[in-house]
């Protein structure tokens, strides 16, 4: 069997395992599997491996660094939905906007304003999520939860940006059940914000859950899970060995 075929089979096995776990979490929560989008985070893998997962039917790919997203989007010659899940510097907004389906990581009012201005200049609508640092870790980006309600007037005034929901990263926990309060808090914040914003801003998305904690996140209402390691970790090396 060729290395390429081995890699494809190994990745298929990983994807099936992740899919089964998402489906089981949906079942436990009484949710439809169709409510949850799997975003494969390709930050640690080559464009070839990223393309391979698209071949297997995963068309939502995520990167945490804008430059790496630009590089992969240019290297992969097919239509994909790119998600930026990491910090976006304002000087990288211009190049990023035409490439991305959704920016998960709007972490300041200044960045929101910069995206609004650039989207207007490019005559496009930018879809974004607001990143909230629910776990309040100093090394994480994001709004403090209490800052989010203050954003209501700003969100209402946007013309070229649609705020589609909220995103968070839970603190790493040995026992993922301990991430549950973080995810529940993000959902409550979303519900509160939605009530203040009204029907023009349905805030349909909760981007939460990574390899360590995605099942708990799905149980708590995630509509997007961002998964890297469970799909890709050790794969290339394992196949070569």
Ligand X SMILES: *Cc1c(COP(=O)(O)O)cnc(C)c1O
What's the closest the beta carbon of residue 117 comes to ligand X, in angstroms? 25
Neighbours of 60 (CB within 10 A): 19
Distances from the Cα of 216 to the Cα of 23, 36, 52, 91, angstroms: 12, 13, 28, 36
The residue sitting closest to ligand X, measured at its beta carbon, is 228
Selected range binding ligand X among 95-103, 146-154, 196-204, 222-230, rule: CB under 6 A = 222-230
| Residue of 169, 170, 203, 206 that binds ligand X (CB under 6 A) | 169
With CB under 6 A as the contact rule, the residue among 86, 142, 145, 165 that binds ligand X is: 86
Q: What CA–CA distance (Å, rounded) separates 180 from 182?
A: 5
> 122 vs 127, which CB is nearer to ligand X?
127
Shortest CB 171 distance to ligand X, Å: 13
Beta-bridged to residue 173, according to DSSP, are none
Whole-angstrom distance, CA of residue 222 vs CA of residue 94: 29
* # residues contacting ligand X (CB under 6 A): 14
> Applying CB under 6 A, does 226 fall inside the site for ligand X?
yes
Q: Distance between CA atoms of 91 and 10, rounded to whole angstroms?
A: 39
Positive or negative: CA dihedral 8, 230, 204, 94: negative
Query: Which region among 26-34, 118-126, 183-191, 228-236 touches ligand X (by CB under 6 A)?
Result: 228-236
Q: Does residue number 43 form part of the binding site for ligand X (CB under 6 A)?
A: yes
Determine the Cα–Cα distance for residues 205 and 8; give it in Å rounded to an integer: 31
**Interface residue list for ligand X (CB under 6 A):** 41, 43, 64, 85-86, 169, 210-212, 226-230
């Amino acid at each position: 069997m060729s290395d390429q075929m081995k890699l494809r089979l190994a990745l298929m096995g990983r994807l099936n395992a992740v899919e089964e776990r998402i489906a089981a979490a949906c079942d436990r929560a009484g949710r439809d599997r169709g409510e949850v989008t799997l975003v494969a985070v390709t930050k640690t893998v080559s464009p070839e491996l990223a393309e391979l997962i698209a071949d297997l039917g995963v068309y939502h790919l995520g990167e945490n660094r804008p430059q790496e997203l630009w590089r992969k989007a240019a290297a992969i010659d097919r239509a994909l939905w790119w998600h930026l899940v990491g910090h976006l510097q304002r000087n990288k907004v211009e190049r990023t906007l035409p490439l991305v389906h959704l920016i998960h990581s709007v972490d300041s009012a200044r960045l929101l304003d910069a995206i609004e201005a650039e989207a207007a200049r490019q005559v496009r609508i930018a879809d974004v999520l607001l990143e909230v640092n629910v776990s309040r870790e100093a090394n994480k980006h994001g709004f403090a939860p209490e800052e989010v309600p203050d954003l209501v007037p700003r969100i209402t005034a946007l013309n070229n940006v649609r705020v589609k929901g909220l995103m968070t990263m839970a603190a790493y926990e040995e026992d993922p059940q301990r991430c549950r309060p973080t995810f529940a808090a993000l959902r409550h914040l979303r519900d509160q914000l939605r009530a203040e914003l009204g029907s023009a801003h349905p805030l349909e998305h909760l981007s939460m859950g990574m390899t360590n904690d995605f099942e708990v996140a799905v149980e708590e209402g995630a509509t997007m899970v961002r998964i890297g390691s469970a799909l890709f970790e050790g794969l290339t090396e394992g196949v070569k060995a």
